[in-house]
Structure 1
Amino acid sequence: MAYVNGNLALQPKRKPEQQKQAFRETRTVVVKRKTLPMQEKLLYMFTILVCVLVAGVIIFRYAQIYQMDLQIKQLTKQQAQMQFDMVELKKQVALKSNPDYIKKAAEGDGYGAAPNGPIKVGTGPKETATAMNKE
């Protein structure tokens, strides 16, 4: 029975012999998983191997496509540069094909106009011949 200590109601204290230790028996269940049969393991392994090979082929093809795109870009740049160089060279050919330019360049190098008469060439110790056609 409860007794009162001041205004607090307390439960009666139990004696040690009354307190029983309750043991609860527990069992653990160990589940053993069945191993996969060898055929199923091989099937899974070959399936994974096929997936890896397909992924490898796809990655390899993408790498080849990337390299081809890079080569196309480089060749396009080279073609544009060569076209620019061709235009510049055609301008130089047109400029240097001009007879006035050729005449000025020859005079600058010290060449003069040919004399009106025939050109004489020394062929031997005392002989001379003309460079013109003999008539």
Structure 2
Amino acid sequence: MQYYGNLALRPERVQEQPQSPARQQSQQVNKVVRRRSITMGEKLLYLVTVAVVVLVAGLIIYRYAEIYQINGQIQDTTRQYTQTTEHMKELQREVEHLSDMKRIRDLAAGYGMVQVENRSITITSSGGDQAVVAKP
């Protein structure tokens, strides 16, 4: 019969009769539960397994660190390449601006130079010597 918290419905406990001392000892001996210990081979196997797992995890972490470092170097190199390319474009524009023939003629005229119309150039030295160079 079941009871749900009602003590009136609880069956009476049957009191056990005292047993003889010999029988109590035999029951106590039978009740001893002995845990099985882990053998040395199993301990070694567990240790080797843990060591292998730690070694593999360390190797994976090491490889990820190398990959991270190489990615950083790639990004630095890409950034330097981009900056160098932009600098080269700026220098190329400057070369085109400085080599413009109209600009060169204006600068020469500003310094007092004139364009030679005839095909020969006469050079006079301080000693009074003259040399004539003909343009082809």
TM-score past 0.5 threshold: yes
Matched, 1:59 2:61: yes
SS of equivalent to 2:121: coil
- Larger CA Rg, structure 1 vs 2: 1
SS of equivalent to 1:68: helix
Show structure 2 runs of 5+ residues with no match: 1-27
Whether the 8 Å contact between 1:106 and 1:112 is mirrored in structure 2 is: yes
| 1:30-72 alpha-carbon deviations (Å, 9 max, x no partner) | 96763531x3332222222211111111001111111122222
Matched, 1:68 2:70: yes
The change in CA–CA distance for 1:31 and 1:107 in structure 2 (over 3 A counts) is farther
SS of equivalent to 1:129: strand
SS of equivalent to 2:83: helix
**Which structure shows the bigger proportion of residues in helix conformation?**
2
Tell me the amino acid that sits aligned with residue 118 of structure 1.
I
After TM superposition, the score normalised by the length of structure 1 is: 0.57
SS of equivalent to 1:118: strand
In structure 2, C-alpha distance between the alignment counterparts of 1:120 and 1:99, rounded to whole Å: 26
Query: Which of 122, 129, 132 is equivalent to 2:131?
Result: 129
In structure 2, C-alpha distance between the alignment counterparts of 1:106 and 1:56, rounded to whole Å: 72
Q: Alignment length, in residue pairs?
A: 104
Identity of aligned residues (%): 37
Show structure 1 runs of 5+ residues with no match: 1-26
SS of equivalent to 1:44: helix
Tell me the amino acid that sits aligned with residue 112 of structure 1.
M
SS of equivalent to 2:131: strand
Whether the 8 Å contact between 2:108 and 2:114 is mirrored in structure 1 is: no
After TM superposition, the score normalised by the length of structure 2 is: 0.56
Higher relative contact order (CA 8 A, sep 6+): 2
